[in-house]
Amino acid sequence: MKLTSSAFRNREEIPTTHSCDGENVNPPLEISEVPENAVSLMLMIDDPDAPGGKFIHWLFWNLKPVAQEIKKNSKPENAVEGVNELGKHGFIGFCPPSGTHVYLFKLYALDTLLPADPALNKDQIRELMEGHILERVILRGYYERAHSENY
C-alpha cells in the first residue's frame, strides 16, 4: 500500500500552505496499491513531537478501499471524520510551538468497517481497529514555523 502527496515527498518539509502560517488546509494525498481484501481505510495525521504528547490533526475512517486522491482543502467522500485534538471535525493545520516537528500520515487498511459515529476519538478508533489491520503505511513530513514561539 502506498500513501504519497504531490505537495511534499516522504521525509521532507511540508509547505507553509498546510500550516497555521498559511492557508491551514490539508495537503493533497494519493492512495494506491490497497490490499485486495481490504474492506475500509482509516487515516490519522498526528504530531508525536507535540508538547502534550500526540496531537491529532485529522482523523477519518470507512474510506472506500480503492486507489484514490484526497484533494487539497477537501475531505474524503463517504468517510466518517472523527474528532481532532481540538474536539472538532476536520483538518488542523500544522503549527508547532517551537522547533521542527514530524507529522505522521498513517494509513491503515482494515478488514472491516468501523462504527459510523463521528464523535469517536483517536483512542476509541484505535481500540476498534485492534485485530483488524491488514496493512499500514506512514508518510512523514516536517514543518518548522519561521517565527516559532516558545511556550
- Fold type of domain 2-143: Phosphatidylethanolamine-binding Protein (3.90.280)
Burial class (CB in 10 A: 0-12, 13-18, 19+), 117: exposed
Structural contact between residues 89 and 117, judged by C-beta atoms closer than 8 angstroms: no
Question: Which of 38, 1, 7 has its CA nearest to residue 103?
Answer: 7
Structural contact between residues 102 and 142, judged by C-beta atoms closer than 8 angstroms: yes
Q: Measured between alpha carbons, how far is 20 from 34 in angstroms, rounded to an integer? A: 32
Arithmetic mean of pLDDT, 84-111: 96
Q: Model's pTM, two decimal places? A: 0.94
115: Cβ–Cβ under 8 A, 6 or more apart, which residues? 128
Structural contact between residues 22 and 146, judged by C-beta atoms closer than 8 angstroms: no
User: pLDDT for 27-38, tens place per residue?
Assistant: 999 999 999 999
User: pLDDT for 104-127, tens place per residue?
Assistant: 999 999 999 999 999 999 999 999
